[in-house]
Amino acid sequence: MDLLEQKIVDIYSQGVSDIVIMGDANINLADVCNANSKKYRNILNTLHLSQIINDPTRITANSRTLIDHILVNRSEMFYQAGTLDVAISDHHMVYTARKKLKIPKSFDYIKCRSYTNLDELALQHDVERIDWSVVLSDRNIESAASNFHTLLTECVDRHAPMINVKLHDNALKWFTHDYLSHINEREYCRRKYNICPCPEHDRLRLDSRRRTKELRMSLQRSYFDDALRNATTVKKKWQIIKEFWPHLSKKTKN
C-alpha cells in the first residue's frame, strides 16, 4: 500500500492532470470495518482520488467482495462505471466511460479593412488635404511611389482601419487574401457605378465582377481537386463533395 501511495505521488509530481488507475487491489472496500480498507480509503482521500466502482467485483457462493477498483482524480469527468460478468473468471470485469474531452478550438485569422464606419466624403476630403509635395518633388520613381503609398495608406487607415477577422470552422477553406482583395475591388467598382452610372464605370464594374468570379472558381477547383486527391476513404470524399454541393443527400449517391 505504501508503494502504491509513492507511485501516485510520483505521478502527481510529473504534472499529470488526469489519473486513472484500475486493477485488482485485493482490498475489500465492501468491508468498511477492515483495517486495510480504512487505511486504503485514507490514502485515497489524502491523494484526492475517488474509487468509482460500487458493485461487488468477485462473487462466490460464500462471499461478495469489492476488490477490483478504478481510481480517478477527476470523478466528474466519468459519467458511467460498473462491472460485467464475463464468465471466464470469478472476478467481474470493471469498466468506466469518460466524458468526451473538449479540445479548445484554434482559429485562423485574416487581415482586412473594416468599412463599417467609412464615411466616403470624409475620406475624400482628407485625401484632398494630403501634402503631396514630397511625392511631386521626388525625381526617383521608386521613392516617390513609396511615399505616395505611405501617405495614402495612413489616410485610409484612419477611415477604414485594418482588422483581424476570425475564421471559424465552417469558414470557406479556399478563401484567400487575394480573393478578399478582389471582393473589395468589386464592391468599390459597384459603389462607384451606383454614384455615377457612366459607361466607363459600368465597364470597370463588370470587369471586376468577372475577375472575382473567375478567381473564386479557380480557388474552389484547386481546393476541391487537392481535397479529393488527399481523401483516403469514401466517407471523406463524400464529405468533401457535400461541402460544395450541400443539397446532395445520401439518397443521391447512386
Q: Answer with the one of 42, 77, 98 that is the final residue of a domain.
A: 98
Task: Please report the pLDDT score of residue 247 as a whole number.
Answer: 57
**Number of residues written out for the chain:** 254
Q: Is residue 94 located within the same domain as residue 6?
A: yes
Task: Please report the pLDDT score of residue 254 as a whole number.
Answer: 44
Task: Please report the pLDDT score of residue 89 as a whole number.
Answer: 85
**With bands split at pLDDT 50, 70 and 90, how would you rate the model's confidence at 66?**
very high
Beta-strand pair 50-51/20-24:
unpaired
Q: Is residue 178 located within the same domain as residue 160?
A: no
**With bands split at pLDDT 50, 70 and 90, how would you rate the model's confidence at 1?**
confident
**What domain range is 112 assigned to?**
104-167
Q: Is residue 8 located within the same domain as residue 83?
A: yes
**With 50 as the cut, is the pLDDT of residue 233 above it?**
yes
Pick left, alpha or beta for residue 15 (phi over 0 → left; psi -120 to 50 → alpha; otherwise beta): left
Give me 220's grid cell. Answer: 474552389
Task: Please report the pLDDT score of residue 151 as a whole number.
Answer: 95
Tell me the CATH number at 36.
Answer: 3.60.10.10
Q: Is residue 225 located within the same domain as residue 161?
A: no
Give the total number of structural domains in the chain: 3
Q: Answer with the one of 98, 120, 145 that is the final residue of a domain.
A: 98
User: Any alpha helices (H) in the chain, and if so which ranges?
Assistant: 2-13, 35-46, 120-128, 133-136, 141-159, 177-195, 199-230, 234-244
Q: Which of 218, 224, 220, 251 is nearest to 240 (CA)?
A: 224
Average pLDDT rounded to a whole number, residues 62-88: 91
Q: Answer with the one of 152, 167, 182 that is the final residue of a domain.
A: 167
Q: Phi, psi at residue 110, to the nearest 5°?
A: -120, 150
Average pLDDT rounded to a whole number, residues 47-63: 91
Is pLDDT larger for residue 168 or for residue 205?
205
Q: Is residue 126 located within the same domain as residue 38?
A: no
Give tens-digit pLDDT for 136-187.
999 999 999 999 999 999 999 999 999 988 766 555 678 888 888 899 899 9
Is pLDDT larger for residue 111 or for residue 143?
143
